[in-house]
Amino acid sequence: MQIQMKRWFVVALGVALGIGWGTRAQAAKQTTNQNAIGFSVAATIPRNQLDQKQSYFDLKMKTGQTQTLKTTIYNSTNRDIEVATAIHTAYTNTNGIIEYVQPAKTFDASLKVKMSDVTKVNGPAKVTVPAKGLKVVTAKVTMPAKPFHGVVLGGWYFKRVDQKVTGAVKGTTNISNQYSYVIGLKYTSGKVPAPVLKLDKVKAGLANSHRGIIPYLRNTSAVIIPKLKLSTTISKADGTTVKKATKENVQLAPNSTFKYPLLLGDQELKAGRYHLHMVAKNQDHRWVFDRDFTISKQDAKHYNQKSVDNRGISVIWFIVLGALAMLVIGLLLIWLFFLIRKRKQRKTDD
């Protein structure tokens, strides 16, 4: 049997004060895991870096400014490797974490300046890095001609693409490892605005095929909102509590929407009128949201049917079915016992 397994090794190079990035591995030049990964990356920090100690690009930019950024790819293997590179615009994923690796499918309507629009990789999307060597790649930044106030956030993504699964061997498992790095890109221009958090819609839906109620939280300001604690209560129209949840350390990317899944588990969605009360706060700000919303019969039926929460057989059903099976087997044995006894009796009488 041949199994192809993808393993992503992501390095977000750098952590800044309150921006909500987490370092998931060591900086590029260090050798931790490098032998397994086969390559690493390191940014060339320019003079307009706000914090020279950081290993990602945290730049002070001006209106209409152009600049070339440099990153070095290091190859620690004994053969040439191929690395793909791209620029991604940051957004908030459904875990409440700022996402730099997977490209967004849609963006919040308030996002006016995308990182992928103002930063372009120079040259081909894939480069070859020589064995035991290095390759310098560059990207050009072109800030908007109109004044922009706030933060543009994204990542410079690197992925090794030359690994291939070897020929299948019966009885063995083949593994294809795919590794990637992300160098953070953060441009600050003009005066950074205050954060603006809004509750958009609240609706029933699915998250990873699990049913729930999903509030849409929008950060409509060009600034990161870090370390939010969300305390949420959903109740029926008569005041009966349906769901209570607390989520901490939520990080919202600039001008992004957080689709916050409040999963119901074994509890089915039911049509009716509901109310959501939410308090969102961090060290510097506090927002309180109240919203009435309705779940239609059509939506409740649709998401309940699509949900994977009710597709398994519970332990209780296993017990019930097991008991029934034992009862059937017991009755069958009793029937066979009397049947055999009756036949023996007939032979004796004969």
Q: Is the CA virtual torsion 83, 183, 32, 167 positive or negative? A: negative
Residue 23 lies in a domain: no
Q: What is the predicted pLDDT for the residue at 118?
A: 98
Strand-pair partners of 213: 204, 262
CA 250 to chain CA centroid, nearest Å: 12
| 207 & 67 share domain | no
Q: What is the predicted pLDDT for the residue at 23?
A: 30
Q: From the DSSP assignment, how many helices (H) and strands (E) are in the chain?
A: 4, 19
- In terms of DSSP bridges, do strands 180-189 and 134-142 run parallel, antiparallel, or are they unpaired? unpaired
Domain boundary among 189, 212, 240: 189
| 61 & 101 share domain | yes
| 141 & 170 share domain | yes
| 49 & 175 share domain | yes
Which helix (DSSP H) or strand (DSSP E) does residue 229 occupy? strand 225-236
Which helix (DSSP H) or strand (DSSP E) does residue 36 occupy? helix 34-37
In CATH, what number is assigned to the domain containing residue 42? 2.60.40.10
Q: What is the predicted pLDDT for the residue at 299?
A: 97
| 290 & 154 share domain | no
Single out the residue of 61, 284, 69 nearest to residue 192, CA to CA: 61
| 147 & 209 share domain | no
Residue 215: Cβ-neighbour burial (10 angstroms; 0-12, 13-18, 19+) = buried
Q: Is the CA virtual torsion 194, 20, 261, 152 positive or negative? A: positive
Distances, alpha carbon 40 to alpha carbons 77, 112, 161, 326, 327, in Å: 11, 32, 14, 61, 64
Domain boundary among 189, 206, 238: 189
Residue 230 lies in a domain: yes
Residue 329 lies in a domain: no
Q: What is the predicted pLDDT for the residue at 167?
A: 40
Q: For the chain, which residues score pLDDT lower than 70?
A: 1-36, 163-178, 311-321, 344, 346-350
Residue 40 one-letter amino acid = S
Which helix (DSSP H) or strand (DSSP E) does residue 293 occupy? strand 286-295
Single out the residue of 183, 171, 131 nearest to residue 27, CA to CA: 183
The whole domain housing 174 covers 34-189
CA 296 to chain CA centroid, nearest Å: 29
Domain boundary among 134, 165, 189: 189
| 214 & 289 share domain | yes
| 130 & 150 share domain | yes
| 211 & 185 share domain | no
Residue 13 lies in a domain: no
Residue 313 lies in a domain: no
Q: Could you tell me if 21 and 12 are in contact, meaning their C-beta atoms sit under 8 angstroms apart?
A: yes
Q: What is the predicted pLDDT for the residue at 165?
A: 41
Q: What is the predicted pLDDT for the residue at 342?
A: 73
Residue 350 lies in a domain: no
Total of domains in the chain: 2
Q: What is the predicted pLDDT for the residue at 8?
A: 38
DSSP 316: H
Structure tokens, 284: 């510097």
| 129 & 245 share domain | no
Q: What is the predicted pLDDT for the residue at 177?
A: 59
What three-state secondary structure class fits 160? strand
Residue 295 lies in a domain: yes
| 171 & 234 share domain | no
| 71 & 120 share domain | yes
